[in-house]
Amino acid sequence: MHCGKLFGRTNRERGLRMVFSSSVFLFLFLPLVLIGYFNPILKGRRFKNCFLLLASLGFYAWGEPFFVLVMLASIGVNWLLGILIARHERGLRKVFLVIAVAYDVSLLFVFKYVSFITRTIGLLWHDDSISVNIALPIGISFFTFQIMSYIFDVYYKKAPVQKNYSNVALYIALFPQLIAGPIVRYQTVAEEITSRKETPEDFTRGFSRFILGLGKKLLVANYAGYIADRIFALKGDMSILSAWLGVIAYTLQIFFDFSAYSDMAIGLGRIFGFHFLENFNYPYMAKSITDFWRRWHISLSTWFRDYVYIPMGGNRVSKGRQIYNLLALWLLTGLWHGANWTFIAWGLFYFFLLLLERFTGIEKKLGIFSRVYTLLFVMIGWVLFRAESLPRAFRYLGVMFGRGPGGLIDETFVQCFSNGKWILAAGILLSTPIVPFCKEKMKALGKVYQPAAALVLAVIFVLSLLVCIKSDYNPFLYFNF
């Protein structure tokens, strides 16, 4: 049974997407949106919201307009169910919540996991013709979780129901956080949708934050990514040092790639009067795996905590139930990131680590070595996350720990290290709180601080634009989550 391709093109066959670090966004989309939004004639909130919504839909539709209809339909279903939930106090209230959650989960299942399941069945039956290839809407995990956040916040009365469909659509489709987060809670921005104020200070701070994110992406993440891609793509013998260099480069790439997008999203949101919560807090400085997940992708980990883990009983239950809750939580976390056995293994890997910490307190016994222990296991996890399959992940880990035929060093390591050592060194340094430390020291300079900070931002912006224009290597790791 070969079902072929459904719902448009596959991910590999799609055209170029509009990302914040692309020329079309920086030189065309963003300037036009800023001119239209801050025009001196039409200043009303209704115009600004409608304009921002249309711009956001255009942003999402770039290259694949069909999935805009999927997103708008999902918003419409949840908007209607949200109104029905708000109208009832008991009985039907929970029924409508279940219907909404079932619809949202079904949407994720169809688009994200049906292909994976049929592909797995085909492998088990040794029949490659058993396949249903459904193209994945970009950012579906992010906007679906935001929609569910709206439903949960209305159900638990943490935020008022929104009777205006376009306001709900703006909350979901707002382009700064649409395709890669952070996952914005409805209660966080419910009031700002209708009564926010754009100020010169917010515009300045927002644009500064956007520039810093752009620099992290184009000047650090992409260069680290080039090294990681080259090494992870090796199919022959690989040396121990090459394997370690590859995972170090990927560790830097995924942090600077994703945190850069969060920086740019937070900055753009602030330009338009929205205040999103932080999504990263120097995760590679964590003292434990538990601490790491308090610092990494904060909007996702808190979403799962508040809407899944705590409703299941959290830590207020027996040890056996706690283990079950953790297992369910990390299976879901792994599956959220992707439909592949590598992501499931990655989620289970963190389940075992967190279980170990919870019931043994091993990280406390390690003292000053707790940071080394944490970073080592995070890097091992990134190998599972990055590899195309579990066998390749295990082979790569084997090489890292001396079980490969490639020896200690090879030509790939020499070339990659020679060309990228300064970028990797900068990435390692910037993974620490060195920037806020320097800012505090510079503030002691008094009046010199503001011109100096502006000069640094200008240099980062110009360098980023030059790299954007000249380079055709611009991957984005969280594009399909």
> Residue 78 and residue 199: Cα distance in Å, rounded?
32
pLDDT at 405 over 50: yes
pLDDT at 1: 36
Pick from 260-264, 301-305, 314-318, 411-415: least confident: 314-318
Residues constituting the chain: 481
Q: How confident is the model at residue 441 (pLDDT cuts 50, 70, 90)?
A: confident
Long-range contacts of 152-158 (CB under 8 A, 24+ apart): 152/97, 152/307, 153/185, 153/186, 153/187, 153/190, 154/82, 154/85, 154/86, 154/186, 155/85, 155/93, 155/97, 158/187
102 in the same domain as 65: yes
Domain boundary among 174, 196, 218: 196
> Residue 220 and residue 456: Cα distance in Å, rounded?
16
Q: What crossing angle do the helices spanning 92-108 and 140-155 adopt, rounded to 10°?
A: 170
| Cα dihedral sign, 445-450-455-456 | positive
211 in the same domain as 187: no
Which SS3 state, helix, strand or coil, does residue 472 take?
coil
pLDDT at 439: 82
> Residue 255 and residue 427: Cα distance in Å, rounded?
9
402 in the same domain as 263: yes
> Residue 435 and residue 450: Cα distance in Å, rounded?
15
412 in the same domain as 278: yes
Domain hosting residue 150, numbered range = 2-196
pLDDT at 10 over 60: no
* Structural domain contains residue 480: no
Rounded to the nearest 5°, which phi and psi values hold at 134?
-105, 125
> Residue 220 and residue 430: Cα distance in Å, rounded?
10
Domain boundary among 196, 214, 233: 196
* Structural domain contains residue 46: yes
221 in the same domain as 191: no
CA dihedral 377, 379, 381, 383 (to 10 degrees): -140
* Structural domain contains residue 404: yes
> Residue 467 and residue 105: Cα distance in Å, rounded?
40
Provide the 8-state DSSP code for 273.
T
136 in the same domain as 206: no
214 in the same domain as 171: no
Residue 375, CA distances (Å) to 40, 190, 288, 371, 428 in order: 51, 37, 9, 6, 12
Residue 290, CA distances (Å) to 283, 286, 304, 334 in order: 11, 8, 14, 16
Q: How many CB atoms lie within 10 A of CB 315?
A: 12
* Structural domain contains residue 476: no
What is the residue-wise DSSP string for 208-255?
A: HHHHHHHHIIIIIIHHHHHHHHHHHT--S---HHHHHHHHHHHHHHHH
Rounded to the nearest 5°, which phi and psi values hold at 341?
-65, -25
Report yes or no: 71 and 173 within 8 Å, Cβ to Cβ: yes
- Angle CA(36)–CA(32)–CA(66) in degrees, nearest 5? 100
- Amino acid at position 85, single letter: I
pLDDT at 36: 96
pLDDT at 9: 40
235 in the same domain as 189: no
Question: Is the model more confident about 30 or about 317?
Answer: 30
* Structural domain contains residue 261: yes
pLDDT at 14 over 70: no
pLDDT at 477 over 80: no
| Residue position matching structure tokens 């830097």 | 252
Q: Kindly provide the b/e burial profile for residues 337-370, where b requires at least 16 CB atoms within 10 angstroms of the residue's own CB.
A: bbbbbbbbbbbbbbbebbeebbeeeebeeeeeeb
What is the residue-wise DSSP string for 418-450?
A: HHHHHHHHHHHHHTTTHHHHHHHHHHTTGGGHH
| Residue position matching structure tokens 């029905």 | 84
All residues at 6 or more sequence positions from 364 whose CB lies less than 8 Å from its CB, including other chains:
370
pLDDT at 446: 76
Provide the 8-state DSSP code for 317.
S
Q: pLDDT tens across 449-473, in order?
A: 888 889 999 999 999 999 999 888 8
Q: pLDDT tens across 16-49, in order?
A: 567 899 999 999 999 999 999 999 999 899 999 9
Which SS3 state, helix, strand or coil, does residue 133 take?
strand
Query: Closest Cα to residue 416, out of 214, 259, 213, 252?
Result: 252
The CA-to-CA distance between both ends of the chain, in Å, stands at 28
Mean pLDDT of 390-394: 95
* Structural domain contains residue 383: yes
Q: How confident is the model at residue 13 (pLDDT cuts 50, 70, 90)?
A: very low
Report yes or no: 415 and 231 within 8 Å, Cβ to Cβ: no
pLDDT at 141 over 70: yes
Q: pLDDT tens across 332-385, in order?
A: 999 999 889 999 999 999 999 999 999 888 888 888 899 999 999 999 999 999
218 in the same domain as 190: no
164 in the same domain as 276: no
Domain boundary among 132, 162, 196: 196
The tally of domains found in the chain comes to: 2
Looking at the DSSP bridge assignments, the partners of residue 134 are 6
178 in the same domain as 109: yes
* Structural domain contains residue 270: yes
Enumerate the active-site residues. 337
* Structural domain contains residue 475: no
Q: How confident is the model at residue 118 (pLDDT cuts 50, 70, 90)?
A: confident
84 in the same domain as 208: no
Q: How many CB atoms lie within 10 A of CB 34?
A: 15
> Residue 176 and residue 267: Cα distance in Å, rounded?
8
